[in-house]
Structure 1
Amino acid sequence: MRTIQFKILLLSLFIVFSCSNDDDNPQDQGTTTPEAPINSDQNIDQFIWKGMNAAYLYKANVGDLANNRFNTNQEFFQFLSKFKSPETLFNGLKSTNPEDRFSFIVDDYIALEQAFSGISKSNGIDFGLSLVSQDSDDVIGFIRYILPGTDAEAKGLKRGDLFNAVNGVKLTRNTDFNTIFGQDSYSINLINITNGTIVETGQNVSLTKAQYTENPIFIAKTIEYQGQKIGYLMYNSFVGNFDAQLNEAFGKFKTDGIGDLILDLRYNGGGSVRTAIDISSMITGQFNGEIFSKEIWNDELQNQFSSGADGEEALINRFKNTIRTGEQINSLGLTKLHVLATNRTASASELVINGLEPYIDVIQIGELTTGKFQASVTLYDSQGFGREGANSAHTYAIQPLVLKSANKNGVTDFVNGLTPDLMFKENISSMGVLGEIDEPFLKTALDFIVNGTALTATSKNGFTNDIIDWETKALLPNYQRMYKDNFTFSSINK
């Protein structure tokens, strides 16, 4: 992703009320006036309000973010003093618009930066949760995959293993999953399912987390299936640090002479916009320089971009022929792509599907996707909201939604997700081995490519398969986020 730098030329964007005395402007960086109410988080609170006022996509829907909201410093500080914490202020400034499910605040931006780089604490199990039955509050966990070189791998856990308790305590719909699974160490109680009935195995596995860097390229291989060479890429996150390895994988596909590609995004919650552009350029290559996506910011910034030196071009992302390091892209020149997607497929994953739709035949296999078409940026407590010069007194940062992405034809706002061309839902009691041709989800795609027909669902084998809206990745600060990295306000004119 290119570094985006621009000047705020409209003075009104950073002047929150009309007044001849700049000292009364709550946007000023100076100390508070003697009569202003004080709270321990006041400096952080000021930063949060300024950042949201400057860049928030849904600013127009939040009266408290209006440029003329406050007449004096006193009013501004009194407003901030009503909030008990930076978190409550941030949430109070978010739009009640149901489309904003994804703006967030962190009190440790170092951990956020690490997550964007694929670094987090992990014991190695990636899992989801499901109800035991529609008539019960009992919950079981199902392991989706195991990260190599982790405690889970060392303990012999594998995809498809099931558990129903943590530290001996049964999981239910009312369990605080973030707290239970957020622990650095815990044990899981393994179970089997026979004819829809849970059978306790008596086996408990203790797991401990350690700092881990996850390579999002989980599987990249060429499959020879019924006489055809088909590329298979299971890609679990759009992490810019691995773009070179991603390009290398496409180079191998190219050398192998694949005729089709299956892009497995079933567990991919998104990530870097730039990486989404690059992988789309690797899949194709014949559209270099054409419009991949268009950006829609709040009205003030949209006008700011449009009236700048680059005009409307500043709002356009185009297909590329090099990755961010400058390395030439290994492009396949495909005119068709098969994508495996579930309701966990979000943001940058959806950007790839939507961005490619006007150009090639994208066959989506699986379920409705999440419905995340907005991107965010990281704003720090600094003069230009960039990382450089960030206030050393704290590590708060905000990650507000700042833009909507639309494809070449203007398609956006798919709140309910992207609709599959071929319906398929994983059966958690019969998941198969990832990357093997008899793994049900992959086999569905392979059969569809070769024969034009495939199973549209798996048998539930007497088990409910009612997935709960929680997964391991929910513990990460960048969960289901699409973001523009290296974003800065280059300067602020006041």
Structure 2
Amino acid sequence: MSLNMRWGAGIVAGLVLTACGGGGGGNGNIADLGLTQTALALGAASQPEPIVASSTVAGRCATPRTGTDPETGTAFRDRTGTLDDEKRWVRGWIDETYLWFDEVPGGLLASAYPTPVDYFNVLKTPLKTASGRDKDRFHFTEDTAEYRNLSVGLSVGYGMELAFLQRSPPRDVRVAYLESGSPAALAGITRGMKVLEIDGVDVANGADTAKLNAGLAPANAGEAHTYKLGLLDGSTRTFALTSANVTMSPVQNVKTFDTAKGRVGYFQFNDHNEPSEAQLIAAIQQLQSDGGVQDLVLDMRYNGGGMLGIASELASMVSSSEATAGKTFERLEFNSKNPFNLTPAQATVPFYIYAQGYSAPVWQRLPQLGLKEITVLAGPDTCSASESVVNGLRGIGVKVNLIGGTTCGKPYAFVPQDNCGTTYFAIQFQGVNAQDFGDYGDGMQPDCFVADDFSHALGDPDEALLAIALTGQCINSGTPKSEAARQKANAKAWEPLLNRSPSRGNRIITNLGGGV
């Protein structure tokens, strides 16, 4: 059986900057949707509507697509329908597959919500985690065509990822990293530069957020925008940038360092997407050809997730056959309805020892470093499949040291489902490791709290997180001493820095129950 499952980041693309008093990007709640409290009250106070099987209304679209579906190579299956049909499909699909289907508030009338997406956004559990965060922070949708492009490593932009240290005035936006050969890289932009103006609008306190957001997240290739950036030496420079279709390089900065504890490998890993399979294999082979390493620093501070098969392959490559043979990398737990009719074997992802054919030849034997301990550089953008790498390795006794900030806390899986040109992501699984642990909804705590260092390039041995990893010496006080201080540190740590499409923070599972 083959399923495609993704793990969502829960951050709505666009709306990346807010006016004074605002928060970050939308999170799918009522205020974000612009729905009135009257509409909400109407839905909550009414009798529940009948729920139909999603299969009976699937593909009945208010605006049917025509032509060939690039995913299947066959004609779209859309047929003429209505928005009400699309809403009925959403409600049926949630009832059938959502992990917490029995926690969705009753009486939410579809008629109270103008679109199927609006309706979908309220069909989730209202419960909280132990820390008070929303239990489900990851409910989202995405345009189907855009979602597919991102899964194969394509995006529209300048090829620079921006970190939002402060989203509301006075805003603070820095360059986190760049894609090689991209418009931003070719223009001479580097990590750490501060965004001061976009198209003449002051980033720190400007009121024209529409203009700022248009320049931050261009909708199409070929858009021209002007950026004024502050350089690390205190000077400023203006860059004329034109958006393009950028190919993302998920693996960067592969290198080794000779330290007091021996040779240490390092690479930056940004996305568990299809191209990353071949690039990860090449990175591990490069470390082996450099004479092997006694330790590995895996920089996943900006890795929102991706394919769970890739996560399994990576965990297998850093470990050994002796440690992973016959062991479970991740087991998926679903609701009482078993909506996908999975056997226990089909719901179990092993440690793959062969490439699964995403971008490397299928059945290519994976290289292995044979390590019993690794270090992961992490933070609030370390999500989903990235957390699975940590949890999966810990499940078989590999020691994983975390340096940086608290991870995002996403032990949940999605089966993305297209209907009428929108792909819907609702939590359907929770993942646990070989020791049946998967309770990290409030994130994984670092062994050493260290703020991200934008004054050095990633991979520079003097960069704060990497420097601590190489020396093994935590230079701060570690976990805050008091409970109040810990909660304050976590609240800050939970704020994601990057503003990405939600689908770049998803776990994707293919060939579920198969592969070795």
Distance 2:311 2:297 in 1: 16
- Cα distance change of structure 1 residues 302 and 292 upon mapping to structure 2, 3 Å threshold: farther
- Cα distance change of structure 1 residues 186 and 457 upon mapping to structure 2, 3 Å threshold: farther
Q: 2:89 pairs with 47, 55, 63, which one?
A: 47
- Which amino acid in structure 2 is aligned with residue 320 of structure 1? Y
- Cα distance change of structure 1 residues 297 and 345 upon mapping to structure 2, 3 Å threshold: same
- Cα distance change of structure 1 residues 162 and 29 upon mapping to structure 2, 3 Å threshold: closer
> Is residue 280 from structure 1 mapped to residue 312 from structure 2 by the alignment?
no
Give the alignment's TM-score, normalised by structure 1. Answer: 0.76
- Which amino acid in structure 1 is aligned with residue 382 of structure 2? T
Task: Show CA shifts across 1:189-216 (max 9, x none).
Answer: 222578xxxx6x4522122211112020
Distance 1:467 1:113 in 2: 30
> Is residue 189 from structure 1 mapped to residue 228 from structure 2 by the alignment?
yes
Map of 1:126 onto structure 2: 161
Distance 1:202 1:364 in 2: 35
Task: Show CA shifts across 1:407-442 (max 9, x none).
Answer: 2222223122101112211243xx212222222221
Q: 1:356 pairs with 358, 369, 393, which one?
A: 393
Q: 1:341 pairs with 378, 385, 392, which one?
A: 378
- Which amino acid in structure 2 is aligned with residue 211 of structure 1? N
Contact 1:288–1:320 (CA<8 Å) still a contact in 2?
Answer: no
What root-mean-square deviation, in Å, do the aligned CA atoms of Structure 1 and Structure 2 show? Answer: 3.2
- Give the CA deviation at 1:31: 11
- Compare 248-257 and 174-183 and name the one that shifted more: 174-183
> Is residue 60 from structure 1 mapped to residue 80 from structure 2 by the alignment?
no
Structure whose alpha-carbon radius of gyration is higher = 1
Map of 2:332 onto structure 1: 295
Distance 2:58 2:310 in 1: 39
Distance 1:178 1:380 in 2: 27
> Is residue 171 from structure 1 mapped to residue 196 from structure 2 by the alignment?
no
Map of 1:326 onto structure 2: 363
Residue 317 of structure 2 aligns to a residue whose secondary structure is helix
- Compare 246-255 and 267-276 and name the one that shifted more: 246-255
Distance 1:113 1:139 in 2: 32
Contact 2:198–2:225 (CA<8 Å) still a contact in 1?
Answer: yes
Name structure 1 gaps, 5 residues minimum: 6-15, 19-23, 33-37, 70-77, 382-393, 459-465, 489-494
- Which amino acid in structure 2 is aligned with residue 118 of structure 1? G
Map 1:28-427 to 2 at 5 A. Answer: 28-29=56-57, 40-64=82-106, 79-97=109-127, 98-106=134-142, 108-131=143-166, 137-172=169-204, 175=209, 178-183=213-218, 184-191=223-230, 201=235, 203-226=237-260, 228-255=262-289, 256-285=291-320, 286=322, 287-301=324-338, 304-305=341-342, 310=343, 312-324=344-356, 325-358=362-395, 359-381=397-419, 394-427=420-453
Normalized per residue, the structure richer in strand is 1
Contact 1:178–1:475 (CA<8 Å) still a contact in 2?
Answer: no
Map of 2:482 onto structure 1: none
Distance 2:198 2:246 in 1: 22
- Cα distance change of structure 1 residues 483 and 99 upon mapping to structure 2, 3 Å threshold: farther
- Which amino acid in structure 2 is aligned with residue 137 of structure 1? P
> Is residue 435 from structure 1 mapped to residue 459 from structure 2 by the alignment?
yes
- Cα distance change of structure 1 residues 468 and 424 upon mapping to structure 2, 3 Å threshold: closer
Distance 1:480 1:275 in 2: 13
Distance 1:476 1:262 in 2: 26
Task: Show CA shifts across 1:78-107 (max 9, x none).
Answer: 94333201211111212223121112112x
Name structure 2 gaps, 5 residues minimum: 5-48, 61-79, 128-133, 357-361, 479-491
Map of 2:2 onto structure 1: 3
Instruction: Give the 4+ runs in structure 1 shifted more than 6 A.
Output: none
Contact 1:376–1:484 (CA<8 Å) still a contact in 2?
Answer: no
- Which amino acid in structure 1 is aligned with residue 245 of structure 2? Q
Distance 2:59 2:387 in 1: 45
